[in-house]
Chain A
Amino acid sequence: MTQQFYVSPEQLMKDRADFARKGIARGRSVVVISCQDGIALVAENPSPSLHKIGEIYDKIAFAAVGKYNEFESLRQAGVRYADVRGYSYDREDVTARGLASVYAQSLGAVFTAEQKPFEVELAVAEVGPTPELDHLYRLTFDGSIADEHGFIVMGGQAERVSAVIAEGWRPSLRFAGAVRLATRSLASGPDPAAEQGEAGGTLPAKAVEVAVLDRQSETSRGFRRAFRRLNDSDITALLAEED
Chain B
Amino acid sequence: MNIMQPGPFKAANYKSDVTPVWCPGCGDFHVLLSLTKALAELGAAPENVALVSGIGCSSRIPAYTNCYGFHGVHGRSLALGAGLKVARPDLTVLVMSGDGDGFSIGGNHFLHACRRNIDMTYVVMDNRVYGMTKGQPSPTTEPDWDSALSPGGTGLSPFHPLVIALASGANFVAREFSGDIKGTTRTIVEAVRHPGFSFVEILSPCVTFRPDERAWKTQTHVASVEATDDPARAARRIMTDDGFNTGVLYRGRRKPYEHHVTDRIVDPAILEQEFAI
Same assembly:
no
